[in-house]
């Protein structure tokens, strides 16, 4: 998209968007909601990288982000416990490790073809947040590995198609807007699925298009509508 390195200095090109992102992150942390903040930062990182940020600036920001993240985790005991449960799920199986253990039971119980639509056992008072954070575990239990694999491939196809559309956008604003929308959906999906399958510590990020929540669904569909509108004007 933009040729990397053809920019002004750090204060002129990178600092303004980083400042705006930082202010949004502070408001989100005030909730507190570290998971949503991580999704926002990942989306911003994708946009900065695609926008042509110099690699040394990107490395500086990545290092600073990791340091800040470690500090935020250290500040809250429950976040430290989540990391502990992520590293060793048997430490507190009835406490902080309960959700991930029940999620993995649901995923494993689904087998190849699942119990059938609506037939999940884990969603009945066993799996916390079954209609929100843990929806992927319920899907795996009901649909099985093969059908969930199809859903994952659809997510991949959606992201790839979004990237293609960003390259064909009529102007730079359209390109960056497409990248931001697709990047936010991709970041939320990757973090949610990785967390509920034990590849990342648990977060409170919903799974786009599937988790319960009207406001999140409205925003996601509105973003898709904007991308479709940009695609109509594509080259």
Q: How confident is the model over 58-96, as pLDDT tens digits?
A: 888 888 888 888 888 887 777 787 887 777 777 777 777
* Alpha-carbon gap, residue 61 to 86, rounded angstroms: 26
> Residue 106 pLDDT more than 90?
no
For the chain, helix (H) and strand (E) counts, in that order, are: 9, 0
* pLDDT top residue among 118 and 222: 222
Q: What's the pTM value of the predicted model, to 2 decimals? A: 0.81
Mean pLDDT of the chain: 84
Q: How much is the CA Rg of the chain, to the nearest whole Å? A: 19
- H or E segment at 176? helix 172-196
Range 24-41 average pLDDT: 83
Distance of CA 120 to the CA centre of its chain: 25
* Alpha-carbon gap, residue 200 to 203, rounded angstroms: 8
152: pLDDT confidence band, cut at 50, 70 and 90?
very high
- With beta carbons less than 8 A apart as the criterion, state whether 88 and 38 touch: no
Q: What is the pLDDT of residue 1?
A: 44
Closest CA to 178 of 232, 223, 219: 223
* Alpha-carbon gap, residue 59 to 46, rounded angstroms: 13
* Alpha-carbon gap, residue 21 to 186, rounded angstroms: 18
> Residue 130 pLDDT more than 80?
no
């Amino acid at each position: 998209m933009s040729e990397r390195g053809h920019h002004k200095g750090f204060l002129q090109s990178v600092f303004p968007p980083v400042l705006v992102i930082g202010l949004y992150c502070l408001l989100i942390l005030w909730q507190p909601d570290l998971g949503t903040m991580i999704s926002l930062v990942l989306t911003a990182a994708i946009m900065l990288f695609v926008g042509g940020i110099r690699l040394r600036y990107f490395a500086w920001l990545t290092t600073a982000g990791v340091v800040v993240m470690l500090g935020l985790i250290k500040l809250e005991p429950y976040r430290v416990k989540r990391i502990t449960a992520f590293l060793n799920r048997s430490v507190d199986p009835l406490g902080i490790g309960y959700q991930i253990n029940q999620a993995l039971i649901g995923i494993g119980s689904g087998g190849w073809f699942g119990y059938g639509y609506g037939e999940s056992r884990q969603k009945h008072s066993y799996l916390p947040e079954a209609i929100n954070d843990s929806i992927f575990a319920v899907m795996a239990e009901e649909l099985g590995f093969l059908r969930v694999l199809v859903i994952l491939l659809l997510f991949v196809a959606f992201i790839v198609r979004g990237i293609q559309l960003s390259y064909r956008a009529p102007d730079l604003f359209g390109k960056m807007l497409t990248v931001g929308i697709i990047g936010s959906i991709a970041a939320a999906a990757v973090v949610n699925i990785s967390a509920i399958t034990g590849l990342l510590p648990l977060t409170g990020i919903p799974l786009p298009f599937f988790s319960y929540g009207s406001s999140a669904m409205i925003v996601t569909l509105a973003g898709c509508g904007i991308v479709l509108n940009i695609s109509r004007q594509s080259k």
